[in-house]
């Protein structure tokens, strides 16, 4: 599956929200480097790096996103009482 990183995002604008934190969206991605990725691959995308799947040739894709929040801008939702999970960082 082709995945593009880098390049320039046309008509870039900031998006913010409690679950997203600071991010950007925009028009098409110009330039960048395309690589083919598949099951088991790990892609680390540095902050502020444009990226997208340039083609998805299946009706289902499963992926995991881990966002580091060093400036603690994401909102926390406390875990329900008795769940044994902490809402801390």
In a domain, 48, yes or no: yes
CA 58-36-24 angle, to 5 degrees, is: 80
Task: Tell whether 59 is covered by a domain.
Answer: no
Residues near 58 by beta carbon (within 8 Å), at least 6 away in sequence: 1
Query: Residue 10's CB: how many other CB atoms inside 10 A?
Result: 11
State pTM to two decimals.
0.69
In terms of residue numbers, what domain contains 20?
2-53
Of all residues in the chain, the percent with pLDDT exceeding 70 is 80
Instruction: Report pLDDT digits (tens) over 61-79.
Output: 888 888 877 777 777 776 6
Q: Examine residue 30 and state whether it is found in any structural domain, yes or no.
A: yes
Number of domain units in the chain: 1
Q: State both tokens at 21.
A: 């934190």
Is 81 part of a structural domain of the chain? Answer: no
Q: Which are the contacts of 57, defined by CB distance < 8 A and separation ≥ 6?
A: 1
């Amino acid at each position: 599956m082709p995945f593009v990183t880098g390049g320039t995002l046309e008509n870039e604008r900031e998006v913010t929200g409690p679950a997203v934190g600071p991010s950007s969206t925009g028009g098409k991605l110009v330039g960048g480097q395309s690589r083919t990725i598949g099951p088991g691959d790990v892609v680390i995308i540095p902050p502020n790096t444009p990226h997208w799947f340039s083609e998805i040739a299946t009706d289902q894709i499963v992926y995991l996103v881990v966002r580091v929040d060093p400036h603690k801008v994401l909102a926390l939702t406390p875990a329900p009482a008795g769940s044994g999970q902490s809402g801390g960082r």
